[in-house]
Amino acid sequence: MTRRLAEEGQKPKIMVIACSDSRVDPAILFNADPGEIFVVRNVAALVPPYSPDSSHHGTSSAIEFAVKDLGVQEIIVLGHYKCGGVAAMRSIHAGNQLEDREFIGPWMALAAEACSMHGADDPEAAAAVEMATIKTSIRNLKTFPWVQKGIDNGTLRVHGWWFDINSGNLLAHDPRTGQFSIVDSIPDLSAK
């Protein structure tokens, strides 16, 4: 398997944008083998808006490679319950200062809108903010013109999933209703 992948190159058809959290490894969660899913992980699975400039765009570079070079057919934004990045964002939104932290605040500001929609002070709202953050990432994905073009052509589909690390349930975003609902079983993204 590994030698064949080395010789022939990777041809994954699925990209997963996931959180760095150690509890939500997409390959383990979705039973994928090497070569089967192209993954970028960052704090809170955020996608920044399309903004080509001289800044260092790690996530956007991965999206560009996945779409333009690999020709992935699916992009899954995978958020999760008890996301530390979202918790930090909610804390900042509630007026707290994060001591001695230089990067997390500006990074999570990408999803600040999710906080303002779901009361930062309400502990019950954490999951709602996590799901709203996924929707923000999906919206930002569509600002990449070649992502939107793929969606329009029917060659690319974008999904929002939220994994409940407490219950083990996976909830999928329904673009028609804007709601997340439980899927029957965790999808197996193995090509076999």
Q: Which residues are annotated as a binding site for Zn(2+)?
A: 19, 21, 80, 83
Residue numbering of the annotated binding site: 19, 21, 80, 83
Question: What burial class does residue 44 get, using C-beta atoms within 10 Å of its C-beta: 0-12 exposed, 13-18 middle, 19+ buried?
Answer: buried
Q: Is 19 in the site for Zn ion (CB under 5 A)?
A: yes
d(CA 24, CA 21): 6
Choose between 19 and 62: whose C-beta lies nearer to Zn ion: 19
CB of 164 to Zn ion, least distance (A): 13
Please work out the total of residues on this chain that contact Zn ion, with binding judged by CB under 5 A: 3
CB of 84 to Zn ion, least distance (A): 6
Choose between 16 and 156: whose C-beta lies nearer to Zn ion: 16
Residue choice 15, 16, 17, 21 for contact with Zn ion (CB under 5 A): 21
Asked whether the beta carbons of 158 and 77 are under 8 A apart, the reply is: yes
Name which of residues 67 to 126 contact Zn ion (CB under 5 A): 83
Choose between 63 and 83: whose C-beta lies nearer to Zn ion: 83
CB of 79 to Zn ion, least distance (A): 7
CB of 32 to Zn ion, least distance (A): 19
Contacts of 15 (CB under 8 A, 6+ apart): 37, 38, 39, 40, 62, 63, 66, 67, 70, 72, 74, 75, 76
d(CA 102, CA 91): 15
Choose between 144 and 163: whose C-beta lies nearer to Zn ion: 163
Which residues here bind Zn ion, judged by CB under 5 A? 19, 21, 83
